[in-house]
């Protein structure tokens, strides 16, 4: 299956943010889930699964554009379960995001679950102008209850003002030697990250490196106003508690990065 979802959010004066485009194709269906913007003008959209998957062989693409001064939050109604295809083909999800100066994107989907025997690549390319803000959450659950994980790779690239701040790759599964060893996830079944960009940190500097728990840490990114929070754990609740319970991660619920 090949499908594309597209969201374009633009500032709309006193009314806050307007969705100039909201296009989805099964299984990537989109629904606006706030009748009116929040007090700060943010609009919210949910991804609604219109079919099972991703399945082996699927080619899925999500395109996000946030204009100058626009505020957009994207969530999903349920976790994404990656399943193997009949012929062993790889499934792919490509996400591109562009945020203009003064715009803010919060990407807060439910986790990705890699089922046994799956083969999946999730690639995100994030382009932010100087003065843009971002909250980007990635979570991976290694297999359903009582089963091993298949092959899953998550690639993330962040560019801010034309400068590359992050290129990160996480691979798990039979084709990723050592992924479950002490240099990888160890005995953890879940891993998650929060990538935060706050333009005010260009003046004050981002929060410094710090442990967030026994298997979680905060690391500032060189060259821009950004930090990466990462955690691993036995279950999703443990990982989310470590990330969202931090001083910086707690800003997720309010949409105020780094406050």
Whether the bond between 81 and the residue before it is cis, its omega within 30 degrees of 0, is no
Q: How far apart are CA 99 and CA 105, in angstroms?
A: 7
Q: How far apart are CA 98 and CA 177, in angstroms?
A: 34
Q: Decide: 201 and 166 in contact? Cβ < 8 Å.
A: no
Per-residue confidence (pLDDT) for residue 254, from 0 to 100: 53
Tokens of 42: 């943010």
DSSP assignment of 190-253 equals: EEEEEEEE-TTHHHH-----EEEETTEEEEEPTTSSEEEEEEEESSHHHHHHHHHTSTTGGGGT
Q: How far apart are CA 119 and CA 139, in angstroms?
A: 17
Beta strands 112-114 and 80-82 are parallel
Per-residue confidence (pLDDT) for residue 250, from 0 to 100: 55
Segments of the chain with pLDDT less than 50 = 253, 256-259
The runs of H, that is alpha helices, within 135-235 are 201-204
Q: How far apart are CA 64 and CA 69, in angstroms?
A: 15
Per-residue confidence (pLDDT) for residue 257, from 0 to 100: 43
Q: How far apart are CA 62 and CA 38, in angstroms?
A: 24
Per-residue confidence (pLDDT) for residue 183, from 0 to 100: 86
Q: Decide: 209 and 218 in contact? Cβ < 8 Å.
A: yes
Q: How far apart are CA 106 and CA 108, in angstroms?
A: 6
Tokens of 251: 């800003």
Per-residue confidence (pLDDT) for residue 259, from 0 to 100: 37
**DSSP assignment, residue 100?**
-
Rg (CA), the chain: 18
Q: How many CB atoms lie within 10 A of CB 37?
A: 17
Q: How far apart are CA 223 and CA 201, in angstroms?
A: 11
Query: Hey, where are the domains in the chain?
Result: 64-250
Per-residue confidence (pLDDT) for residue 41, from 0 to 100: 87
């Amino acid at each position: 299956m090949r499908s594309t979802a597209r969201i374009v959010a633009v500032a709309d004066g006193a009314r806050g943010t307007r969705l100039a485009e909201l296009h989805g194709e099964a299984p990537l269906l989109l629904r606006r889930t706030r009748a009116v913007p929040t007090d700060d003008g943010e609009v919210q959209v949910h991804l609604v699964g219109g079919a099972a998957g991703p399945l082996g062989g699927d080619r899925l693409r999500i395109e996000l554009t946030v204009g100058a001064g626009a505020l957009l939050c994207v969530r999903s109604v349920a976790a994404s379960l990656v399943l193997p295809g009949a012929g062993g083909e790889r499934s792919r999800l490509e996400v591109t995001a562009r945020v203009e100066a003064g715009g803010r994107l919060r990407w807060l989907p439910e986790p990705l679950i890699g089922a046994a025997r799956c083969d999946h690549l999730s690639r995100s390319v994030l382009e932010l102008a100087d003065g843009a803000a971002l909250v980007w959450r990635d979570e991976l659950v290694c297999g359903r209850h009582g089963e091993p994980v298949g092959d899953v790779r998550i690639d993330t690239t962040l560019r801010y003002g034309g400068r590359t701040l992050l290129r990160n790759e996480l691979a798990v599964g039979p084709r990723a030697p050592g992924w479950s060893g002490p240099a990888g996830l160890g005995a953890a079944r879940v891993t998650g990250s929060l990538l935060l960009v706050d333009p005010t940190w260009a003046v004050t500097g981002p929060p410094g490196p710090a442990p967030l728990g026994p298997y979680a840490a905060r690391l500032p990114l060189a060259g821009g106003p950004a930090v990466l929070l990462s955690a691993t754990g036995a279950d999703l609740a443990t990982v989310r508690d470590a990330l969202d319970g931090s001083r910086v991660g707690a800003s997720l619920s309010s949409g105020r990065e780094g406050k």
